[in-house]
């Protein structure tokens, strides 16, 4: 999908500018555009980069249908997904526990190709009326005193710098939280050093496994899922090690030899790969996986949504679900606030009842998440003498 052309660099105006077009940004744009708000969605990448495959629990199916319709229908033409049957974990004990989705309301979860999924959401945002600019970076924002707009924004591209004005600014830039950082809002991570090391595997045979697999280890925990789609008749599977970046296991995991050495010590995932005839391919990629949140989730005429507001440990399995759910809430609250507030900055800070409601929801979500995270790490009693697990007690 081609991005919209760069417009007049001197005076483009918007009700809302959203920085970042991942699930949180696109879903916020969809919600606002459907209400008739003039929305600009800014994406710094010209074309998709790699994304880890991601699985969605049955409780997320309603959200997916809300934004995309039935993702499995031929009309959606959404490639790269398959139904998942449940989770198999070796966590508190050495015995595998199976959580089957058969008895859930939807009866299944979904494993999605993130690149295709994210692009489908962006397409929906444009269809709803939002303007999408790709290969455009958010550079700076300056407050406008008086008048109908609150922000003067500088956006850079290969064509130079363009200047836009907006009533409201939304940070959906993920863990980097670029808008919040420019506004001087600090991020709190509480010393969490969790990092994810991902390796793709492929095999020439079939693999009908539809379970997400998790396995605790002395130095962290493993995740594996078969990926949707095929390439050159190859079946693909993702294996990710989560450990603290300062531990010896992290240094090992960053190399192919060290990753294989650690993986060979697993009791569940390594035999699965061997039985399927899988072999590693591509380079090992790393990404932060720590828990973090902004000190403030919103302020005068701005708001952070998705991972920009608060990012979770992947153990929570709430990545896309949280992005879509909080984006829907954010979009509604911003629309109501803009509709009720007078033109200009007045009434668009935390004292606005709608913005305050969003802020309170974010604070409660964080408290609930931390409680659940600590509970699940706490029920893993093995390796109590290992630093990774000591830190989580």
pLDDT digit string, tens, across residues 10-57: 458 999 999 999 999 999 999 999 999 999 999 998 776 667 767 888
Q: Looking at the predicted structure, is the pLDDT value of residue 6 above 50? A: no
SS3 state at 138 = strand
pLDDT digit string, tens, across residues 262-313: 999 999 999 999 999 999 998 999 999 999 999 999 999 999 999 999 999 9
pLDDT digit string, tens, across residues 232-256: 678 889 999 999 999 999 999 999 9
Where helices occur in the chain by DSSP H, the ranges are 23-34, 61-68, 114-128, 178-182, 248-253, 256-264, 269-275, 319-340, 353-378, 387-391
Q: Looking at the predicted structure, is the pLDDT value of residue 79 above 90? A: no
Q: Which of 232, 212, 192, 228 lies closest to 369 in space, CA to CA?
A: 192
pLDDT digit string, tens, across residues 192-216: 999 999 999 999 877 888 899 999 9
Q: Which of 279, 195, 199 lies closest to 239 in space, CA to CA?
A: 199
Output the CA–CA distances (angstroms, integers) from residue 201 to 69, 246, 258, 272, in the order listed.
31, 26, 16, 12
- Report the run of H or E that residue 17 belongs to, with start and end: strand 12-19
pTM of the model: 0.92
Output the CA–CA distances (angstroms, integers) from residue 154 to 12, 19, 139, 170, in the order listed.
11, 12, 5, 15
Output the CA–CA distances (angstroms, integers) from residue 30 to 17, 39, 121, 281, 385, in the order listed.
13, 9, 8, 37, 48
Q: What is the mean pLDDT of residues 71-83?
A: 74
78 burial type by CB count under 10 A (0-12 exposed, 13-18 middle, 19+ buried): buried
């Amino acid at each position: 999908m081609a991005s919209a052309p760069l417009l007049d660099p001197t005076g483009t105006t918007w009700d809302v500018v959203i920085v970042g077009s991942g699930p949180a940004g696109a879903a916020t744009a969809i919600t606002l555009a459907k209400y008739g708000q003039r929305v600009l969605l800014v994406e710094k990448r010209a074309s998709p980069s790699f994304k880890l495959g991601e699985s969605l629990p049955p409780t997320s199916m309603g959200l997916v249908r809300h934004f995309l319709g039935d993702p499995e229908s031929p009309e959606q033409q959404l490639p790269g997904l398959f139904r998942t049957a449940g989770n198999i974990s070796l966590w508190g004990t050495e015995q595998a526990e199976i959580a089957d989705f058969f008895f859930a309301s939807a009866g299944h979860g979904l494993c999605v190709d993130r690149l295709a999924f994210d692009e489908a959401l962006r397409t929906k945002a444009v269809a709803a009326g939002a303007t999408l600019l790709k290969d455009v970076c958010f550079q700076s924002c300056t407050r406008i005193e008086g008048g109908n707009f609150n922000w003067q924004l500088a956006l850079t591209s290969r064509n130079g710098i363009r200047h836009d004005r907006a009533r409201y600014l939304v940070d959906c830039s993920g863990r980097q939280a670029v808008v919040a950082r420019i506004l001087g809002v600090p991020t709190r991570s509480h010393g969490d050093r969790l990092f994810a090391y991902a390796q793709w595997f492929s095999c020439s045979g079939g693999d009908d496994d539809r379970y997400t697999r998790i396995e605790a280890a002395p130095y962290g925990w493993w995740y594996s899922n078969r990926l949707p789609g095929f390439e050159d008749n190859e079946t693909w599977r993702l294996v990710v090690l989560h450990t603290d970046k300062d531990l010896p296991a992290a240094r090992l995991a960053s190399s192919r030899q060290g990753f294989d050495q650690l993986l060979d010590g697993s009791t569940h995932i390594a035999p699965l790969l061997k039985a399927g005839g899988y072999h590693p391919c591509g380079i090992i990629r790393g990404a932060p996986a720590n828990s973090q949140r902004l000190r403030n989730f919103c302020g005068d005429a701005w708001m952070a949504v998705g991972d920009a507001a608060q990012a979770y440990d992947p153990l929570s399995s709430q990545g896309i679900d949280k992005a879509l759910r909080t984006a829907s809430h954010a979009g509604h609250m911003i629309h109501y606030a803009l509709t009720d507030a007078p033109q200009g900055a007045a009434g668009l800070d935390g004292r606005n009842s709608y913005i305050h409601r969003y802020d309170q929801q974010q604070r409660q979500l964080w408290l609930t998440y931390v409680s659940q995270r600590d509970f699940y790490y706490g029920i893993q009693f093995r390796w109590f003498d290992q630093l990774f697990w000591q830190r989580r007690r």
